[in-house]
A = this chain, B = another copy of it.
Amino acid sequence: MDSNKIGHHISGQFNKELEDIRNKVLTMGGLVEQQVELAMQAFSTGDIEMAELVIKQDNQVDALEVEIDRECTQILALRQPAAFDLRLLLTVIKVINELEIVGDLAERISKLAIQSADSDGKIDQYYEIQHMSNLVKDMLHRSLDAFARMSIEEVPAITHLDDNVDREYASIIRQLITHMMEDPRNITRTINVLWTVRAMERIGDHACYICEHLIYMVKGEAVRHLSREELEKKVKGG
């Protein structure tokens, strides 16, 4: 299955509408990826201006969500699509919701970065957090890439990454708690780090949800609550 699937309609106008929606989702995805990148940079460098930029960008992301959602609804009403086209539109509505939430999480990280910027408490876990953050960004990028190509081939690799993220998350949280116990003066600062790490872990989850929506679109089956193994089986064969 590839994105040519979109170009099969007799009505050139309908093709154009679907292609337009797909492009807007990719624009929104790019913007959200940038938000996550900048939010994590702002968090690790304490760059307040960068954090404020992410917060501002969230308005653009929200506006794109509303616009794409409205266009999907209009097409549903006017074109009354069936089969793959219907699933494509319903999937887009769900994917942009995931992206909007990821944007909110990036905004949250930025606000935490601003709150933490004036404290000079050194967090020993920056290296681990950076690594986890890279995994999460990779997951988000690859899930958007899979959506762009309308291909589910990469999905098992992406969900495997989430298992790594979850492991690293648990380990970082344990370390942060130890850090707080060692010196209670670290607590306020460390709680902000805790929220940040949690927000990142959730971004990884939403990248997985994008993959699940994609499988529904391509295969026509809901896989939302399947185990990793069941999901992998669906992708590979039946």
Contacts and interface: CB of A to CB of B under 8 A. Distances in A.
Interface string A124-155: 00000000000000000000000000000000
A114 to B, nearest CB: 16
Nearest to A77: B82
A97 interface: yes
A224 B90 contact: no
A218 interface: no
B77 A83 contact: yes
Nearest to A220: B73
A170 interface: no
Interface in A162-221: 173, 177, 180-181, 184, 187-188, 191, 194
**What class of interface size applies to chain A in its complex with B?**
20 to 34
B181 A187 contact: yes
Interface stretch (A28-36, A64-72, A230-238): A64-72
Interface string A42-76: 00000000000000000100110110011001001
A90 to B, nearest CB: 6
Contacts of A181: 184, 187
Contacts of A184: 180-181, 184
6 contacts: A66-B224, A69-B222, A77-B83, A93-B93, A177-B191, A187-B187
Given A66-B222, A73-B86, 18 more contacts: A59-B225, A62-B224, A62-B225, A65-B225, A66-B224, A66-B225, A69-B222, A76-B90, A77-B82, A90-B93, A93-B93, A94-B97, A173-B191, A177-B187, A177-B188, A177-B191, A180-B184, A180-B187
Interface of A: 59, 62-63, 65-66, 69-70, 73, 76-77, 80, 82-83, 86-87, 90, 93-94, 97, 173, 177, 180-181, 184, 187-188, 191, 194, 222, 224-225
